[in-house]
Amino acid sequence: MIEAEVHQQLRAFLREQGEPHWHHHLTMARLVARALRLGRSALIQTGTYSGYQSRHRLSYLMPALLWPQPAILAVPQSMHPQLLLVDIPRIQDWMTVPKPVQTGDRFPDPHFAGLLITTPEAWLADRLNPQGRFPDGVPVIVDGADDIEAIARRHLTLRLEPAAWDELMLACPDQVNAIRDSRVRLIHNAFQHPPNPYNCYLLDAAEQAILHQLYQQLQPGSEVRSKSPHEPHEPGRAIAPLPQLWLRFFQQMQTENQLVWATVSRSNGQFSLHSSPAELASTLDPIWRQQPVVLIGSALDLETDAPIYRQRIGLQEMTCLKFCPDRHHELIQLYLPDGLPMPNTAQFQPALLSEIRALLSVNTAQEGLTVVLVGDLPLKAQVASALASEYGSRVQVENPHVNGYGVLVAGWGFWRQHQARLPVPRLLVIATLPIPSLEEPLVAGRVSYYKRRRQDWFRLFLLPEALTELQRAVAPIRETQGVVALLDNRVNHRSYGKQVLAALHPLARINYVDASLFSHLDCAPVDPNGDPR
């Protein structure tokens, strides 16, 4: 059986290569091999850092390369150099009969029996809009399942840029007046909305009615109105076909549970239209039935069988496995003070800055990178300005090239995108939990979808999003058992605080700040890039 062969080969390989030890290599490798042999999908939560330095790669590479039949490996593009130049050549040298390996955004040919390395974006795009690039039935290993929902949502979102209106008028010259009138009405409505930090808003019923009316006028077979009141009416002339993007946008708008919104550029008086499904499960469900899929993510759900995650992306019952961080080597020092004002009060910002100053002051050596995560856009700017006035150029705002001794103030999205390439922080300060804001129109739209279905929108949407983001953010800190300061007092006083702490385990909780806070880190030298050695 391939499980036994994978176990034996991987154990011998790890011993000979002196690979950094991860306790779950063999268990995960056997499960991946079993999924390949039985053609049965599996879901694995590794609990490890999912960037290019992730330690679980060998656990799926060995089964994929020993599997005698074709397989597809979908991993983020940032991981390709490490896989192709380091990991796979080392395993291929170890194997007596190396397996062919190719890269690309499509299957080489029907007779290819090797391992194809692609990206989750390329594979999922073909599944959502079938073009025959990847065959059905070939097992797929996806490393980066944390981002599957976001990738699918981006692919399913239709976007009409300002120039699309000009294309529509060129395609339908007999309806120029109707198109121009609809555009003007939408622009007028767009700028009636008060500005928000996200520069977007959901279209209300009246605004959507403008688009629905325009679609009715532009449908093929309808009668064309005169270009102006002075021109004679020409009944019976069929309208030319709509541009493909407009036709798809109009049709998607007609389907149930769609989010339709506009992004506004007030500086140049332009707007773009977007349409995206509020839920993805019904769209993604057929994809998982087309081939065996092994989904690998760092932190997908608090539960081993990931019920909320599976519900959101349409996964049926499947083999699930969850590994927890090692309590001896991946424990974080969690500073969680009590008594701070709640984030929605006017007293929160001064208290937050006071805590950050106290944390920076005890790091007397000023060694290592400090990252301050602030999700609220106005608060992020205020915190950065206040810290820069005291610490000068050491403070950087979302700078991917910050040095290992700086103070980086960033949002959650920036940290998620760049944390793999930045030095591991000595201190990670979290101003507030990354609970999606209801002030963001798209979040409010998805919450409305759950409310219409009488579902618990906080438990099924907002809280899982926050916990996943939180676990991914602190994952690099576990490598050095660094300090995480969580300054959101809701963790102490809200019922969901226990779930937040469960997501951060293993941890050593600290409720005071003194000179000993970084003592366990000072025993290890820090290189110029900020990485403890």
Q: Residue 262: which H helix or E strand, with range?
A: strand 258-265
Q: What is the pLDDT of residue 312?
A: 95
Q: What is the pLDDT of residue 221?
A: 53
CATH T-level fold of 2-154+280-322: Rossmann fold (3.40.50)
- State the Cα–Cα distance between residues 439 and 351, nearest whole angstrom: 23
Question: Which of 233, 218, 223 minimizes the C-alpha distance to 182?
Answer: 218
Helices then strands, each counted (H, E), the chain:
22, 18
Question: Which of 373, 375, 385, 382 minimizes the C-alpha distance to 427?
Answer: 373
Q: What is the pLDDT of residue 184?
A: 95
| Helix, strand, or coil (residue 351) | helix
Question: What type of residue sits at position 33?
Answer: A
Token output for 529: 């890039």
- State the Cα–Cα distance between residues 170 and 168, nearest whole angstrom: 5
Per the DSSP assignment, residues forming a β-bridge with 200 are 263
Given a cut of 70, the residues of the chain with pLDDT beneath it are 19-20, 49-54, 220-240, 364-366, 519-533
pLDDT, tens only, 76-85:
998 999 999 9
Question: What type of residue sits at position 332?
Answer: I
Q: What is the pLDDT of residue 220?
A: 61
Q: What is the pLDDT of residue 268?
A: 86
Q: Are 349 and 406 in contact (CB under 8 A)?
A: no
Domain 332-522 coded CATH 3.40.50.300:
yes
DSSP string, 472-501: HHHHHHHTTT-EEEE--THHHHSTTHHHHH
- State the Cα–Cα distance between residues 86 and 351, nearest whole angstrom: 48
